[in-house]
Structure 1
Amino acid sequence: MLVIKEHLQKLSLLSEEDWNHYASKFEKHTFKKNSLIIQTGEVENYLSFIETGIVRFWIDIKDNEVTFDFAFEKQFFSAYPSFLTRESTNWNIQALTPIVLWRISHADLQLIYQQTQSGDKLGRLATESLFITAAKRKTDLLTQTAEELYLRLLQEHKQLIQYIPLKYLASYIGITPQALSRIRKRIC
């Protein structure tokens, strides 16, 4: 739980009283490697924080899994559009490694927003952060080469990228595994 507190304190000043209220709402969950955390057709009921592990976001397109994002340690994640709208998702979120999560339900998060002084501000800052990340990803896909995308991922998550299968990395940057192998050979 301490990792969540540290993360939230980076976003905003957090009183001890508010933290105690938050902490009482989070529940610890573990998932085995390759487990689905949420799948297409379900409604996302949780906002999750990764204590340890890596998750992959993917959608099915014509019986082909297309990876569109990853989340790493000390990051929040969810099938956020479903979490907000309460409608079913077309996303799949999978544990790529054994994973330890701290989760808060949609209902409990709404209570935090109502019952704490910092809740609304933290919610807004978290939403803004998710929006910025998504906008940056879209821009990067339009303006950077596959090699540049791979190098950035390598730079930002070097210690963790070794746990992601090549086919998922290739899908994430929009190329074939063979093309990614050529990029990796060229830069190493």
Structure 2
Amino acid sequence: MIEIKKYFQKQVDISEKDWTTFSSKLIKREFPKKTNLLKVGQTENYLSFIETGIIRFYIPKETEDFTFGFAFEANFISAYDSFITQEPSSYELETLSNTILWSLTYQDLQQIYSQTQIGNKIGRLASEELFLKKSKRELSLLNQSAEQRYLNLFTEQPHLLQFIPLKYIASYIGITPQALSRIRKRIS
């Protein structure tokens, strides 16, 4: 819980009263590697902060899954479209390593919004972070080569890439594992 408090203190001036209200709603959830946090058809009920771990967003397919996102430590995670609409998700979330999350339920977040002075700002910051990641991903797919997307991922999270299977990285940057192999060979 210390990490999430540090995250907010960098962003906003949160009073002890507001922190007490906010932190009293947080639920610590621990998951082993390869755990599905959410499956297609389930409704996302949590907005979570990753204390430790790596999470993959993907659409399951019969032959191969389509990975379209990763989330790392000290970031928020949610199937946010499902969370805010409270409708079933069309994709899945899976842990790629042992993971610790600090989570708020949808109902608890609504209470935080109404009971604290800082609640709306915290919610806005979390949603802005999730939006910016999505926007950055979309723009990279439109404007960058697969090699550049790989290099960006490698530059942003080099110590974490060793925990992500290459087939997921290839899917994320929009190429086959064989094409990723050629890129890796070319840049090494």
TM-score, structure 1 normalization: 0.97
Residues 173-188 of structure 1 correspond to what in structure 2 (within 5 A)?
Answer: 173-188=173-188
Cα offsets for 1:66-102 (capped at 9, x unmatched): 0000000111110000000010001110000111111
Aligned to 1:29: 29
The answer on whether the counterparts of 2:40 and 2:92 sit within 8 Å (CA) in structure 1 is: yes
**Any residues of structure 2 matched to 1:19-58 within 5 Å, and which?**
19-58=19-58
Alignment CA distance shift 1:59-1:144 (3 Å): same
Match of 1:77 in 2: 77
Contact conserved, 2:76 with 2:130, CA < 8 A, in 1?
no
State the 1:137 CA deviation.
1.0
TM score, norm. by length of structure 2: 0.97
Alpha-carbon distance, 1:125 to partner: 2.2
Q: Once the 2 structures are TM-superposed, how far is the Cα of residue 20 of structure 1 from its aligned partner?
A: 1.0
Which one-letter code corresponds to 2:171 in the other structure?
Answer: S
Superposition deviation, residue 63 in structure 1: 4.4
What secondary structure does 1:64 align onto?
coil
What secondary structure is seen at the aligned counterpart in 1 of 2:41?
Answer: coil
Instruction: Report what 1:164 is aligned to.
Output: 164
Return the alpha-carbon distance in structure 1 between the equivalents of residues 128 and 33 of structure 2: 30
* Misfit runs of 4+, over 2 Å: 60-64
* In structure 2, distance between residues paired with 1:169 and 1:31: 22
Partner AA of 1:84 in structure 2: I
Counterparts of 1:129 and 1:100, CA distance in 2: 19
Aligned residue for 2:118? 118
Helix, strand or coil at the partner of 1:158: coil
Partner of 2:147 in structure 1? 147
The equivalent residue for 1:109 is 109
Q: How does 1:91-110 map to 2 (within 5 A)?
A: 91-110=91-110
Instruction: Report if the CA contact (8 A) 2:76-2:129 is conserved.
Output: no
Structure 2: tracts of 5 or more residues without a match: none
Deviations 1:122-149 (A, max 9, x none): 2122222222221111111000000100
SS at match of 1:24: helix
Q: Which amino acid aligns with 2:18?
A: D
Q: Deviations over 1:38-91 (max 9, x none)?
A: 110100000111111100000124543100000001111100000000100011
Question: What SS does the corresponding residue of 1:162 show, helix, strand or coil?
Answer: helix
2:51 and 2:100 in contact (8 A); partners too: yes
SS in 2 for 1:18: helix
Query: For 1:33 and 1:126, how far apart are their aligned partners in 2?
Result: 25
Work out the number of aligned pairs and report it: 188
Uncovered stretches (5+) of structure 1, i.e. residues with no partner: none
Q: CA RMSD in A?
A: 1.0
Closer, same or farther: CA 95–173 of 1 in aligned 2, 3 Å? same
Q: Secondary structure of 2:56's match?
A: strand
Helix, strand or coil at the partner of 2:180: helix
